Protein backbone atom coordinates (compact mmCIF):
# COMPACT_ATOMS: atom_id res chain seq x y z
CA UNK A 1 0.00 0.00 0.00
CA UNK A 2 1.37 3.42 -0.93
CA UNK A 3 1.85 5.97 1.82
CA UNK A 4 0.93 9.63 1.29
CA UNK A 5 0.72 12.89 3.25
CA UNK A 6 -2.38 14.97 2.56
CA UNK A 7 -1.96 18.57 3.75
CA UNK A 8 -4.89 20.99 3.73
CA UNK A 9 -4.28 24.73 4.17
CA UNK A 10 -6.39 27.86 4.36
CA UNK A 11 -6.94 28.52 0.67
CA UNK A 12 -10.35 28.15 -0.91
CA UNK A 13 -11.04 24.66 -2.28
CA UNK A 14 -11.57 22.30 0.65
CA UNK A 15 -13.77 20.21 -1.66
CA UNK A 16 -10.69 19.17 -3.65
CA UNK A 17 -9.05 17.85 -0.47
CA UNK A 18 -12.15 16.00 0.70
CA UNK A 19 -12.69 14.37 -2.69
CA UNK A 20 -9.02 13.36 -2.90
CA UNK A 21 -9.19 11.90 0.60
CA UNK A 22 -12.33 9.90 -0.26
CA UNK A 23 -10.67 8.54 -3.41
CA UNK A 24 -7.48 7.53 -1.59
CA UNK A 25 -9.09 6.18 1.59
CA UNK A 26 -8.82 2.41 1.70
CA UNK A 27 -6.36 2.38 -1.21
CA UNK A 28 -3.39 4.05 0.52
CA UNK A 29 -1.98 4.77 3.95
CA UNK A 30 -2.84 8.41 4.63
CA UNK A 31 -1.23 10.96 6.95
CA UNK A 32 -3.46 14.03 7.11
CA UNK A 33 -2.56 17.48 8.44
CA UNK A 34 -4.86 20.53 8.38
CA UNK A 35 -3.61 24.05 9.13
CA UNK A 36 -5.62 26.22 11.55
CA UNK A 37 -6.99 28.33 8.70
CA UNK A 38 -7.60 25.12 6.76
CA UNK A 39 -9.86 24.01 9.59
CA UNK A 40 -11.86 27.24 9.25
CA UNK A 41 -12.19 26.91 5.46
CA UNK A 42 -13.21 23.24 5.79
CA UNK A 43 -16.08 24.36 7.98
CA UNK A 44 -16.95 27.46 5.95
CA UNK A 45 -16.99 25.72 2.57
CA UNK A 46 -18.15 22.19 3.41
CA UNK A 47 -19.57 22.43 6.94
CA UNK A 48 -17.12 19.73 8.00
CA UNK A 49 -14.72 19.18 10.88
CA UNK A 50 -11.32 17.52 10.65
CA UNK A 51 -12.93 14.38 12.08
CA UNK A 52 -14.16 13.75 8.51
CA UNK A 53 -10.58 12.65 7.78
CA UNK A 54 -10.86 9.30 9.53
CA UNK A 55 -10.67 5.64 8.62
CA UNK A 56 -8.49 2.59 8.53
CA UNK A 57 -4.87 3.43 7.72
CA UNK A 58 -5.55 7.14 8.31
CA UNK A 59 -3.61 9.22 10.84
CA UNK A 60 -4.66 12.80 11.56
CA UNK A 61 -2.04 15.17 13.02
CA UNK A 62 -2.15 18.64 14.53
CA UNK A 63 -0.14 21.11 12.43
CA UNK A 64 1.71 22.24 15.56
CA UNK A 65 3.08 18.69 16.16
CA UNK A 66 6.36 18.89 14.33
CA UNK A 67 7.87 15.87 16.14
CA UNK A 68 6.01 13.18 14.17
CA UNK A 69 7.09 10.46 11.75
CA UNK A 70 6.23 12.49 8.64
CA UNK A 71 8.59 15.25 9.82
CA UNK A 72 11.54 12.88 9.41
CA UNK A 73 13.29 11.85 6.22
CA UNK A 74 13.76 8.39 7.72
CA UNK A 75 10.01 7.73 7.35
CA UNK A 76 9.43 6.40 3.81
CA UNK A 77 6.69 8.21 1.92
CA UNK A 78 5.47 7.88 -1.67
CA UNK A 79 4.28 11.45 -1.96
CA UNK A 80 2.71 14.50 -0.37
CA UNK A 81 -0.09 16.67 -1.71
CA UNK A 82 -0.84 20.15 -0.40
CA UNK A 83 -4.42 20.84 -1.50
CA UNK A 84 -5.56 23.53 -1.44
CA UNK A 85 -2.22 25.29 -0.94
CA UNK A 86 -2.37 28.85 0.37
CA UNK A 87 0.11 31.45 -0.77
CA UNK A 88 1.15 31.80 2.86
CA UNK A 89 2.15 28.14 3.18
CA UNK A 90 3.79 28.20 -0.27
CA UNK A 91 5.83 31.26 0.72
CA UNK A 92 6.97 29.70 3.97
CA UNK A 93 7.98 26.44 2.28
CA UNK A 94 9.82 28.38 -0.44
CA UNK A 95 11.70 30.24 2.32
CA UNK A 96 12.51 27.00 4.18
CA UNK A 97 10.71 28.13 7.32
CA UNK A 98 9.55 24.64 8.47
CA UNK A 99 7.72 26.05 11.50
CA UNK A 100 4.67 23.80 11.25
CA UNK A 101 4.23 20.11 10.46
CA UNK A 102 2.97 20.90 6.94
CA UNK A 103 5.96 23.12 6.23
CA UNK A 104 8.42 20.62 7.71
CA UNK A 105 6.91 17.62 5.92
CA UNK A 106 7.09 19.52 2.62
CA UNK A 107 10.68 20.52 3.37
CA UNK A 108 11.50 16.83 3.94
CA UNK A 109 9.89 15.81 0.65
CA UNK A 110 12.05 18.33 -1.19
CA UNK A 111 15.31 17.43 0.54
CA UNK A 112 14.67 13.70 0.06
CA UNK A 113 13.78 14.32 -3.61
CA UNK A 114 10.34 12.78 -3.17
CA UNK A 115 7.11 13.72 -4.90
CA UNK A 116 5.56 16.94 -3.58
CA UNK A 117 2.41 18.09 -5.36
CA UNK A 118 1.33 21.66 -4.63
CA UNK A 119 -2.19 22.72 -5.66
CA UNK A 120 -2.25 26.52 -5.35
CA UNK A 121 -5.48 28.53 -5.32
CA UNK A 122 -5.31 32.28 -5.66
CA UNK A 123 -6.24 34.81 -8.29
CA UNK A 124 -4.67 36.97 -9.49
CA UNK A 125 -1.08 36.00 -8.62
CA UNK A 126 1.34 38.65 -7.40
CA UNK A 127 5.00 38.68 -8.42
CA UNK A 128 5.81 37.26 -4.97
CA UNK A 129 3.37 34.36 -5.45
CA UNK A 130 4.86 33.58 -8.87
CA UNK A 131 8.42 33.72 -7.56
CA UNK A 132 7.56 31.39 -4.68
CA UNK A 133 5.84 28.94 -7.03
CA UNK A 134 8.88 29.01 -9.31
CA UNK A 135 11.16 28.40 -6.32
CA UNK A 136 9.14 25.31 -5.36
CA UNK A 137 9.15 24.07 -8.95
CA UNK A 138 12.92 24.52 -9.13
CA UNK A 139 13.32 22.68 -5.83
CA UNK A 140 11.52 19.68 -7.32
CA UNK A 141 7.85 20.19 -6.44
CA UNK A 142 5.09 19.71 -9.01
CA UNK A 143 2.81 22.76 -9.26
CA UNK A 144 -0.66 21.53 -10.20
CA UNK A 145 -3.03 24.53 -10.13
CA UNK A 146 -6.68 24.06 -9.28
CA UNK A 147 -7.59 24.93 -12.88
CA UNK A 148 -10.20 22.50 -14.16
CA UNK A 149 -10.69 22.04 -17.88
CA UNK A 150 -14.07 22.33 -19.54
CA UNK A 151 -13.38 20.32 -22.71
CA UNK A 152 -14.73 16.90 -21.66
CA UNK A 153 -18.37 17.77 -21.10
CA UNK A 154 -17.93 19.09 -17.56
CA UNK A 155 -21.22 20.57 -16.38
CA UNK A 156 -21.44 20.40 -12.61
CA UNK A 157 -19.27 21.62 -9.78
CA UNK A 158 -18.51 17.97 -8.99
CA UNK A 159 -17.22 17.51 -12.56
CA UNK A 160 -14.82 20.41 -12.07
CA UNK A 161 -13.63 19.15 -8.69
CA UNK A 162 -13.12 15.68 -10.17
CA UNK A 163 -11.09 17.08 -13.05
CA UNK A 164 -8.49 18.46 -10.64
CA UNK A 165 -8.57 15.44 -8.32
CA UNK A 166 -8.12 13.07 -11.27
CA UNK A 167 -4.96 14.93 -12.30
CA UNK A 168 -3.62 14.67 -8.73
CA UNK A 169 -4.36 10.92 -8.61
CA UNK A 170 -2.65 10.47 -11.99
CA UNK A 171 0.43 12.24 -10.64
CA UNK A 172 0.42 10.04 -7.53
CA UNK A 173 0.32 6.96 -9.75
CA UNK A 174 -3.03 5.93 -8.29
CA UNK A 175 -5.82 4.43 -10.43
CA UNK A 176 -8.80 6.70 -10.98
CA UNK A 177 -12.02 6.59 -12.95
CA UNK A 178 -13.03 10.21 -12.39
CA UNK A 179 -11.76 11.39 -15.76
CA UNK A 180 -10.97 9.40 -18.87
CA UNK A 181 -7.92 10.31 -20.96
CA UNK A 182 -8.89 12.89 -23.58
CA UNK A 183 -9.68 11.51 -27.02
CA UNK A 184 -10.72 13.72 -29.91
Ligand X SMILES: Cc1cc2nc3c(=O)[nH]c(=O)nc-3n(C[C@H](O)[C@H](O)[C@H](O)COP(=O)(O)O)c2cc1C
List contacts with ligand X (CB under 6 A): 9-12, 35, 37-38, 44, 86-89, 121-122
CA distance 46 to 40: 10
Distance of CA 135 to the CA centre of its chain: 17
Please say which residue, 100 or 168, places its beta carbon nearer to ligand X: 100
Nearest-approach distance from CB 175 to ligand X, in angstroms: 29
Nearest-approach distance from CB 37 to ligand X, in angstroms: 4
What H or E segment, with its residue span, contains residue 45? Answer: helix 36-46
Evaluate whether 81 touches 168 at the Cβ level (below 8 Å): yes
Please say which residue, 28 or 42, places its beta carbon nearer to ligand X: 42
CA distance 78 to 116: 9
Nearest-approach distance from CB 89 to ligand X, in angstroms: 4
Nearest-approach distance from CB 88 to ligand X, in angstroms: 4
Please say which residue, 82 or 172, places its beta carbon nearer to ligand X: 82
For 35-108, list the strands marked E by DSSP: 58-62, 79-85
Please say which residue, 126 or 152, places its beta carbon nearer to ligand X: 126
Please say which residue, 28 or 82, places its beta carbon nearer to ligand X: 82
Nearest-approach distance from CB 163 to ligand X, in angstroms: 18
Report phi then psi at 56, rounded to 5: -65, 140
Return the exposure string of 139-156: e unless at least 16 CB atoms fall within 10 Å of the residue's CB, then b: bebeebbbebeeeeebee
Amino acid sequence: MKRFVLAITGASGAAYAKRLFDCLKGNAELHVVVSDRGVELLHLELGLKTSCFAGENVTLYKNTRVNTSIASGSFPLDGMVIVPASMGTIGRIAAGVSGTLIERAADVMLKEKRKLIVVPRETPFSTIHLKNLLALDQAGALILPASPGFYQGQKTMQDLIDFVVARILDQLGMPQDLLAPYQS
